[in-house]
Amino acid sequence: MSKLIANSKKSKHPIALSFDVEDWFTVRNMRDFVSDSEWDKQEMRVNIGMDFILNALAGKNIKATFYILGWLADRAPELIKKIADQGHEIGCHSYQHTPIDLLDPKSFEADLKKAVAALESVSGRKIKGFRAPSFSVMHKTSWALPIIRDCGLEYDSSIFVTSHPDYGVKDFPTAITTVSGLTEVPLKKSKFFGAQVPVCGGGYFRMLPYAMTKSALKQDLQSGPVVMYFHPWEFDPEQPRVALPAIKRFRHYVGLNSNRDKFLSLLNDFEFTTVESLVQDAKASNNLSSYTFKN
């Protein structure tokens, strides 16, 4: 019986589990309401979500990837050390969480170098992976990829294969792909009864019934790995409420109360790995597709 239960979670491919480590007041939805210069005055609550995440992962002996803000490395170095000490991958999520479309090449490079230096100094690890704020690597910001490579990073996981108005590259391959001398690990929608649904994290994971997410993921994992993404503030239902406009309020606060239970169900039902190990496996298979941005 126990063997039957153990086998029931086996999918053909694993989920690469990733977290964009930022505090509740640094997210894009808050940008017009809490400016960068006011960040230091806010109540830091990142440890509330992180304690839940790290305990849940330790309980299942799961290793994951944490793309962390350089700003947090400077404010909460003990948190970054704790993540590293528990054997998780440390990646970079920029310094100031500014989407790339609001930067130029020079300011992007300066922000990235500052973040990588802060994270490497605190964690004692070489940073290999980058996740842009708000998945902001797209056609118009593809100039960022050679900069990421030249800053010494090995892979990027910032492209969402979708035609969303604010982000995404709709014709990008859904498999791990070589682009601009980097390895790209894209995020993608999953099929659910003929529809394409982004069940891999964020507001959709919080909003959709878990049974639907589970079914879509099971189907998707037959053809290849899936990258999922979460944030510590998504596991902190008591976080301060900001008077956001209706759409932003919905996106940020939907499903916060049930998200911990959904996440624990997910950990029970699937097998997980880090994004870095997906990259290593893909490179070893010597079978990467390639893509060229035409700008």
Which residues would be at the binding site for Zn ion (CB under 5 A)?
A: 20, 22, 133
The Cα–Cα gap between 251 and 129 comes to 27
Q: Which amino acid is at 133?
A: P
Q: Which amino acid is at 41?
A: K
Query: Strand pairing of 129-130 and 155-156?
Result: parallel
Indicate the angle between helix axes 46-60 and 77-85, nearest 10 degrees.
10
Cβ 159 to Zn ion, closest distance in Å? 15
Kindly tell me which of 90 and 282 has the beta carbon lying closer to Zn ion.
90
Cβ 2 to Zn ion, closest distance in Å? 39
Whether residue 72 contacts residue 23, with contact meaning beta carbons closer than 8 Å, is answered with: yes
Cβ 239 to Zn ion, closest distance in Å? 15
Cβ 234 to Zn ion, closest distance in Å? 11
Kindly tell me which of 22 and 111 has the beta carbon lying closer to Zn ion.
22
Kindly tell me which of 134 and 177 has the beta carbon lying closer to Zn ion.
134
> CA quadruple 86, 87, 93, 95: dihedral positive or negative?
positive
Kindly tell me which of 14 and 133 has the beta carbon lying closer to Zn ion.
133
Cβ 97 to Zn ion, closest distance in Å? 6
Which tokens go with 13?
């491919």
Cβ 99 to Zn ion, closest distance in Å? 9
Kindly tell me which of 173 and 201 has the beta carbon lying closer to Zn ion.
201
- Burial pattern 12-40, b for ≥16 Cβ within 10 A else e, equals ebbbbbbbbbbbbbbbbbbbeebeeeebe
Any idea which residue has 């490179």 for tokens? 283
Kindly tell me which of 134 and 274 has the beta carbon lying closer to Zn ion.
134
Kindly tell me which of 28 and 189 has the beta carbon lying closer to Zn ion.
28
Q: Which residue is nearest to Zn ion (CB)?
A: 20
Kindly tell me which of 214 and 249 has the beta carbon lying closer to Zn ion.
249
Cβ 162 to Zn ion, closest distance in Å? 17
Cβ 24 to Zn ion, closest distance in Å? 11
The Cα–Cα gap between 192 and 195 comes to 5
